[in-house]
Chain A
Amino acid sequence: MSENTRHLTDPLIASNPLTVQILGICSALAVTTSLKTALVMCAALTAVLTVSSGLISSLRNRIPVSIRLIVQITIIASLVIVVDEVLKAYAFEISKRLSVFVGLIITNCIVLARAEAFAMRNPVGPSVLDGLGNGLGYSLILIVIGTLRELLGAGSLLGYPVFPTVADGGWFQPLKLMLLAPSAFFLLGFLVWAVRSWRREQVEKPEFAAGTADQGGRP
């Protein structure tokens, strides 16, 4: 696999921003109550991440070191505002449901992390691929969680009923918990566990040994 392809594919599973780096959790919890909001959020974040990585990378030799973070944030914030305005104009309903979370892409750790850790040190091509790959890695997890939450919480997908719910005279009793934020935590936890059971190399070494009872709780 070429170096460039790796920039694109690594963030999907091997260094996924959500399950490996545990970044961007807040928005992942907030927008996954239905698949549609999750999809729009994914598209917004991927677009911002790709373009910001490209722009910052192309300016990387000109950005003064002392103000590099604020320049990165300015570029990211401008792009987020543009995306937010476009959604308000062309996808009004969905932008209302996403409310502040599109705006909060500005503070999403993934975007700044890729700008600071990758785009500032690499040429434009790899940076764009890296941004796109990380956006897709984020999207992959959001789509999985969004699908599970909408399916189990409302018995539908993209608003179309899949399981007939009891309220509509069917057999499916929706799990209301799935529509609450804690369920996204549980699902994400299970997902991290599942991925790490499959890819053992992702399991982190314990940072300290857990104490036992006969040691008085001290290691």
Chain B
Amino acid sequence: MTAPDTGSWWRRLAALPKDSAPKTIAFAMLVAVVAAVLVSFVAVTLRPLQKANLERERQGRIVAIVSRAIGDAGPLSAHVVELKTGRIAPEIDPVTFDQEAAAKKPETSIALPPAADIAGLGRRETHATVFLRREGGKPTLIVLPVRGQGYQSTLYGYLALRGDGVTVAALTFYKQGETPGLGSRITEPAWQGLWPGKRIADDSGTIRIKVVRGAASGPHEVDGISGATRTGNGVTNLLQFWLGAYGFGPFLDRVKAGEI
């Protein structure tokens, strides 16, 4: 009985004058449904393209921040590195990889043994984004994200190394909450200017880079800031950590071996 009923119901509606209330409501619903389907279809179809655009923009912004931070406007490309093995992980798109989020998720981070956790991180992400400049197939600039506990805040920065993986090109901190006028001077160009040319390791490969109290001597030492000894120690510790076996050590070994 239902089918003929629907049919007659439809015929009755179609026979009504166009300005009658039922036909007005039916027309409004029809327009709403067609418009909704059209808009949803377009939105869903184009979503991947739009998302890629947003991600590309985010990536471009990060590269711009890194370039400005290290005072070098040359081209850089982003790569995701598996920290444990030091290999570049081509299966992870650096455009969509979010290192900050990865560090917080248990499935993309590991708990650090207390003895190795000199930078006071607790957990460390399994993958990290590095920025490279390649010339003639070889890296000439390697920018590594570093972070660690300072005196009263976590310091976030970038360490740029020359292609040899040993010579510092730049060190910069973009986020910190150290004592204004003392520890926070690590963000000043005067102090950051002490870093280029320093060497992170000696010839045997041992990480030796250190912020010292007072004046530095030798290529592995950098002057500390008076009154900010603990911030200086924090910088030493975070560099020791990120350049060591739990940080970018395996990656830098591959760089030195010419595998990157």
Binding site for B on A (CB under 8 A): 61-67, 70-71, 74-75, 77-78, 81-82, 85-86, 88-90, 92
Hey, which chain A residues are within 8 Å of B23, CB to CB? Answer: 64
B11-47 interface code vs A (CB 8 A; 1 in, 0 out) = 0000000110001100110011001001100110010
Contact status A78-B35, CB under 8 Å: yes
**Which of B49-57, B76-84, B116-124 interfaces with chain A?**
B49-57
Show 14 residue pairs from A and B whose CB-CB distance is below 8 angstroms, ordered by the A residue. A62-B27, A64-B19, A67-B27, A67-B28, A74-B35, A75-B35, A77-B35, A78-B35, A85-B46, A88-B53, A89-B46, A89-B49, A90-B49, A92-B57
Contact status B24-A85, CB under 8 Å: no
* Bound form: Cα–Cα A71–B18 in Å: 14
- Contacts A75-B35, A88-B50, A92-B57 given; indicate if A64 touches B42 (C-beta within 8 A): no
* Bound form: Cα–Cα A63–B26 in Å: 11
- Contacts A81-B39, A85-B46, A89-B46 given; indicate if A66 touches B32 (C-beta within 8 A): no
Residue of A71, A78, A86 near B46 (CB, 8 A) is A86
Number of residues in B with C-beta < 8 Å to the partner? 18
* Bound form: Cα–Cα A102–B31 in Å: 22
Q: How far is the CB of A181 from chain B (nearest CB, A)?
A: 27
Hey, which chain B residues are within 8 Å of A62, CB to CB? Answer: 18, 27
* Bound form: Cα–Cα A81–B19 in Å: 29
Hey, which chain B residues are within 8 Å of A61, CB to CB? Answer: 18
* Bound form: Cα–Cα A74–B36 in Å: 10
Binding site for A on B (CB under 8 A): 18-19, 23-24, 27-28, 31-32, 35, 38-39, 42-43, 46, 49-50, 53, 57
Hey, which chain B residues are within 8 Å of A77, CB to CB? Answer: 35
Q: How far is the CB of A98 from chain B (nearest CB, A)?
A: 14
Hey, which chain B residues are within 8 Å of A71, CB to CB? Answer: 27-28, 31
Hey, which chain B residues are within 8 Å of A64, CB to CB? Answer: 18-19, 23-24, 27-28
Residue of B18, B27, B39, B49 near A78 (CB, 8 A) is B39
Hey, which chain A residues are within 8 Å of B57, CB to CB? Answer: 92
Residue of A66, A78, A92 near B19 (CB, 8 A) is A66
Contact status B50-A85, CB under 8 Å: yes
**Among A64, A66, A75, A88, residue most surrounded by chain B Cβ atoms (within 10 Å):** A64
5 A-B pairs besides A64-B19, A74-B32, A85-B43 with CB distance below 8 A are: A66-B24, A71-B28, A88-B46, A89-B53, A92-B57
* Bound form: Cα–Cα A78–B28 in Å: 14
* Bound form: Cα–Cα A78–B39 in Å: 6
Hey, which chain B residues are within 8 Å of A67, CB to CB? Answer: 24, 27-28
- Contacts A64-B23, A64-B24 given; indicate if A82 touches B31 (C-beta within 8 A): no
* Bound form: Cα–Cα A88–B32 in Å: 24
Can you name the residue of chain B whose Cβ is closest to the Cβ of A92?
A: B53
The 10 closest A-B pairs by CB, nearest first: A89-B49, A92-B53, A64-B24, A89-B46, A78-B35, A88-B50, A82-B42, A64-B19, A89-B50, A81-B39
Q: How far is the CB of B50 from chain A (nearest CB, A)?
A: 5
* Bound form: Cα–Cα A204–B38 in Å: 43
Q: How far is the CB of A69 from chain B (nearest CB, A)?
A: 12
**Among A67, A81, A89, A90, residue most surrounded by chain B Cβ atoms (within 10 Å):** A89
Q: How far is the CB of B21 from chain A (nearest CB, A)?
A: 9
* Bound form: Cα–Cα A64–B19 in Å: 5
* Bound form: Cα–Cα A66–B19 in Å: 7
Q: How far is the CB of B61 from chain A (nearest CB, A)?
A: 12
* Bound form: Cα–Cα A62–B23 in Å: 10
- Contacts A66-B24, A74-B35 given; indicate if A86 touches B19 (C-beta within 8 A): no
Q: How far is the CB of A207 from chain B (nearest CB, A)?
A: 37
